[in-house]
Amino acid sequence: MEKETTKKKHSRVVAAVIMRNDRYLCMQRCRSKYEYISERWEFPGGKVEDGESDHEALLREIREEMDWDVYVGRRIGTIDHEYPDFSITVAAYLCRGGDTDDFKLLEHLGYKWLTRDELGQLAWTAADERLIETME
């Protein structure tokens, strides 16, 4: 009997690395059906839709997840990561948000503003952990 091979779903994802006063905005994911990303920390962002540029996707995702407008700057890194059930290519962009925390937590449990040295204190998703490594 031949072993059935299933192709994992692949998504292109954008992440907003939002900085303010030498601190990074870290968001805690909600519960997920995948334990390995459930309630882990990430940079905000999401999937790029068909026909959408990275810039457009980031603006849309931050509005949908946080009801916040950001300025999207230069790309600071791209990584490929394979999770047990899916794979992603993540492009991270340095972004700037408003001067106050006037965003809403529409799809996250919580947030923290941390310095580069403090980022290691959090339990990050594996993909975001790899992004942090590329930022060094």
The per-residue pLDDT for range 87-127, each reduced to its tens digit, is: 999 999 999 987 677 899 999 999 999 999 999 999 999 99
* Count of residues making up the chain: 136
Helices (H), the chain: 54-66, 126-134
Contact of 69 with 82, CB cutoff 8 Å = no
Confidence of residue 27 (pLDDT cuts 50, 70, 90): very high
Task: Check which CATH number belongs to the domain holding 105 and give it.
Answer: 3.90.79.10
* Residue 33 structure tokens: 């059906």
Number of domains in the chain: 1
* Residue 56 structure tokens: 């457009």
In this predicted structure, what is the pLDDT of residue 101?
76
Helices (H), 3-125: 54-66
Where in the sequence is the domain holding 95, given as residue range(s)?
5-134
- Rounded mean pLDDT, 54-69: 96
In this predicted structure, what is the pLDDT of residue 108?
96
